Amino acid sequence: MDVELSSHDTESLKRILTVPKNALVKQYQKLFEMDGVELSFRDDAVTAIAEKAVLRKTGARGLRSIMEGMMMDIMYDIPSDEEISDVEITKEVVEEHAKPRLTMDAQKRRERYESFQSNNQDGLKEKKASKKRG
């Protein structure tokens, strides 16, 4: 019975991490996108994060703490290395504090950064125009 409950809890926590509009995974992806870096989480990494929350008995409230602990160094390293274009979080990153898989492509990163900046400028212009109309 406990095994089933834990399994259900893990699946629920995985959905909390990935599905809602403001899901933690999506928040971190957006932060990296601002620097022109694509962040991805392998499914086994998301499962490991959820399982860690179940083991700690922290549930959904503990997900943020687990994510912050895992992502802190990565978030500081990314802006200082302009060659990094892609970061993949694996199960080993979550469980063993291993380094994430990195892809180095400065050109791709610059293009993504410029695209992000351009899209945000377009969005700001639309908001200002709708305020004037409204």
Percent of the chain with pLDDT over 90: 68
pLDDT at 134: 60
Yes or no: say if 58 and 10 are a contact pair by the CB < 8 Å rule: no
29-68 pLDDT per residue, tens: 999 999 999 999 999 999 999 999 999 999 888 999 999 9
CA distances from 66 to 24, 39, 97 (A): 11, 17, 12
Report pTM: 0.82
Q: Give 116's contacts (C-beta < 8 A, 6+ positions apart).
A: 33, 34, 36
Q: What residue has token string 């199960």? A: 91
For residue 83, the 8-state DSSP code is: T
Is residue 3 very low, low, confident or very high in pLDDT (cuts 50, 70, 90)? very low
Which tops the pLDDT comparison, 43 or 109? 43
Instruction: Pick the closest to residue 64 from 30, 101, 13 (CA basis).
Output: 13
Q: Taking 50 as the threshold, does the pLDDT of residue 4 lie above it?
A: no
Which tops the pLDDT comparison, 128 or 52? 52
